[in-house]
Amino acid sequence: MGLQELSDTVCIVGVGDTKQGAVPDKTGDELAIEAARAALEDCGLKKDDIDGLFVQPSYGRQGDYLKVGLMLGLNPRVGGAVEASGATGCYMIQHAALLLNAGMANYILLVYGTNQKTNRNRFGGALLEEHAPYGAFNPSGPFAFAFRRHMHLYGTTEEQLATIAINQRAHAGLNPKAVQQTPITLDDYMSARYIVEPLRLFDYCYITDGGHAFILTTADRATDLKKPPVYIRGMGRQEAFRAYETPDLVMQSFQQEAVAEMVFDMAGCTPQDMQALYVQDAYSPAVIAALENYGFCPRGESGRWIQDGRIALGGELPLNVNGGQLSETYMVGWQNTCDAVRQLRGECGARQIKAVERLMCTYTGGLREHAGALILRS
Amino acid sequence: MSDYNKPLPVIEKWNEPYWQAAKRHEFVAQRCPACGYIHLPPGPVCTNCLGPDQVWVQLSGKGSIYSYGIYHQQWHPGFADDIPYNVALIDLDEGLQIVSQVVDCENDALGCGLRVEVTFDDVTPEITLPKFRLVGTKQA
């Protein structure tokens, strides 16, 4: 069976989330379970319908799938953890699609919960042990290197990069779930302090507590449930375990180009067919990389391409209309998938993309080791 | 005793020859006797052909700045007095890329593509960190 035959065979039928931001009275596991209950309520399934459970571990030793499974009272046929950092949520959906197609499970629950804000996880560690002596702490360094390189090669400017943060903050203002809703101007952006120059404060995701959950089933089972199914039209992924060895991986070109080839081939469509794009944006240069590597704009031109409202709600390619991780919430990509499903159901109120039927979500994990994408349709 | 309070490299089986060489002010990498591939970080086999028995070879120590960042945020108290400091990705002439720092210059003097050469920073009696300094003039 080829990947194309799996197109549209599996659906996301339930999504659930919790309060985002600071949730100091709950552990990561409690938030995961609260999100799972919300996802069950969303699709109308009962706990005992669930025969697959996958849990993303979170910082502070939360998200042990055995513990979460015990707390949920589940003995699923298939279950466990998937560990791919920021691409985990994407990879879990892909694994679920394969398991559901193989008949090893009928209804798979995916959950993630974290209290990394309350726990003050600062992401202050070095990328690799051998980088610590040189002060290369925090995962943002490679994104700063990448953007600096982009500036050098293509003349991209910090003012152009600012558009991403400003645009997503404007979107977040239309999203009651978003933790950062105050609009920012170019002056606000440019006067904010550098963290790893050329990146400034607003180029960084905003660490939050919260939980998310999804329920997936086969297309034939999906039509009986409470909400309209959202179909998985395309899936792609590419690992780069040699990321620390291979030169010139900062913009992820070979890796994301490989993901693009797989996901568009499976979906039978092109970047120009997408009506919206969600990029997992731990740092804003992730958007620059995705737009070019997935073929939304020519190599080197993203700085200019994103101007003049093109990536705003109502523009040619609305991008992270939830606010993304820069402004909505930092749920390692889960928040984007959740918003994508709600957009395709038409549930998004003031930030609803008109007549949206097909969109794409891209994800990266670790420093660049993991990359994946989903094309979803209503 | 040293009052050096930055993180030190963790010496283990595979990287021990690298740090021993650095202490002698030599800059080395692993080379595969079978296919000639030169690689870091060190490991038990060639990452190109899986050949065993990797040998250590001297590098020229010359390269260019692929890109860099200026760190304004303090993530480790050992770097408090250095802020803002640079971290650079160095493209070595042998085809490797490594993370290091460019020293003996202002951060404003850095630029992608500038030529650099290795220099050795004896940070403790036991540990020497290979770093880089600018050579020549800025390329077009």
Per-residue model confidence as pLDDT tens digits over A232-271? 999 999 999 888 776 566 677 889 999 999 999 999 999 9
**Cβ contact (<8 Å) for A130 and B99?**
yes
**Cβ contact (<8 Å) for A131 and B101?**
no
Instruction: For residues B134 and B109, state if they share a domain.
Output: yes
What residue ranges do the domains of chain A occupy? 3-120+206-377
Burial class (CB in 10 A: 0-12, 13-18, 19+), A242: exposed
Residue B29 lies in a domain: yes
Domain at A3-120+206-377: CATH architecture? 3-Layer(aba) Sandwich (3.40)
Instruction: For residues B21 and B66, state if they share a domain.
Output: no
What does the angle CA A1 – CA A295 – CA A97 come to, to the nearest 5 degrees? 30
Domain boundary among the residues B37, B58, B79 is at B58
Per-residue model confidence as pLDDT tens digits over B23-52? 999 999 999 999 999 999 999 999 999 999
Residues 6 or more apart whose Cβ sits within 8 Å of residue A97: A6, A9, A10, A216, A232, A235
Tell me what pLDDT residue A249 has.
Answer: 65
Rounded CA gap, A236 and A122, in Å?
Answer: 30
Is the peptide bond prior to B44 cis by the omega test (within 30 degrees of 0)? no
* CATH assignment of the domain containing B122: 2.40.50.840
Q: How many domains does chain B fold into?
A: 2
Tell me what pLDDT residue A130 has.
Answer: 82
Give the phi and the psi of residue B84 in degrees, each rounded to 5: -80, 135
Bridge partners of residue A277, in order along the sequence: A319, A360
Instruction: For residues B102 and B121, state if they share a domain.
Output: yes
Least confident span in A117-131, A155-169, A296-310:
A117-131
How large is the ipTM?
0.95
DSSP A20: -
Rounded CA gap, B96 and B104, in Å?
Answer: 23
Is the peptide bond prior to B84 cis by the omega test (within 30 degrees of 0)? yes
Instruction: For residues B103 and B117, state if they share a domain.
Output: yes
Interface test with A, best of B67, B92, B126 (most A CBs within 10 A): B67
Residues 6 or more apart whose Cβ sits within 8 Å of residue A334: A56, A89, A112, A212, A214
* Residues of chain B contacting A, Cβ within 8 Å: 6-10, 15, 39-41, 47, 66-73, 75-76, 79, 82, 84-85, 87, 89, 91, 95-97, 99-101, 111-113, 123, 127, 129, 131
pTM above 0.90, yes or no: yes
Q: Strand pairing of A78-81 and A52-56?
A: parallel
Residue B43 lies in a domain: yes
Rounded CA gap, B31 and B29, in Å?
Answer: 7
Counting one residue from chain A and one from chain B, the pairs whose CB atoms sit within 8 A come to: 107
Residue B1 lies in a domain: no
Instruction: For residues B23 and B90, state if they share a domain.
Output: no
User: How remote is the C-alpha of A12 from its chain's centroid?
Assistant: 15
Would you say the C-alpha torsion A267, A272, A278, A279 has a positive or negative sign? positive
Residue B44 lies in a domain: yes
Instruction: For residues B86 and B138, state if they share a domain.
Output: yes
What does the angle CA A256 – CA A136 – CA B93 come to, to the nearest 5 degrees? 70
Query: What is the H or E stretch that residue A5 is in?
Result: none
Residue B2 lies in a domain: no
Range of the domain at B50: 9-58
Per-residue model confidence as pLDDT tens digits over A258-317? 999 999 999 999 999 999 999 999 999 999 999 999 999 999 999 999 999 999 999 999
Model confidence at B1: pLDDT above 70: no
Query: What is the H or E stretch that residue A81 is in?
Result: strand A78-81
Least confident span in A127-136, A176-185, A352-361, B101-110:
A127-136
Residue B3 lies in a domain: no
Domain boundary among the residues B36, B58, B80 is at B58
CA distances from A84 to A79, A88, A208, A214, A286 (A): 16, 5, 19, 17, 17
* Residues of chain A contacting B, Cβ within 8 Å: 122, 124, 126-138, 141, 144-146, 148-149, 152-153, 193-199, 242, 244-248, 250
For range A344-365, the mean pLDDT = 97
A221 three-state secondary structure: helix
CA distances from A223 to A10, A258, A296, A343 (A): 11, 33, 32, 18
Nearest residue of A to residue B18, measured between CA atoms: A130
Instruction: For residues B120 and B66, state if they share a domain.
Output: yes
Instruction: For residues B53 and B110, state if they share a domain.
Output: no
Instruction: For residues B65 and B126, state if they share a domain.
Output: yes
Residue B134 lies in a domain: yes
Instruction: For residues B32 and B79, state if they share a domain.
Output: no
| Residues A372 and A90 sit within 8 Å (Cβ to Cβ) | yes
Rounded CA gap, A351 and A348, in Å?
Answer: 6
Instruction: For residues B54 and B85, state if they share a domain.
Output: no
Residues 6 or more apart whose Cβ sits within 8 Å of residue A329: A20, A21, A177, A178, A179, A206, A208, A210, A323, A335
The beta-strand segments (E) located in B19-139 are: 28-31, 38-39, 55-58, 62-71, 85-92, 97-100, 115-122, 128-134
Tell me what pLDDT residue B140 has.
Answer: 40
**Cβ contact (<8 Å) for A250 and B40?**
no
Q: How confident is the model at residue B137 (pLDDT cuts 50, 70, 90)?
A: low
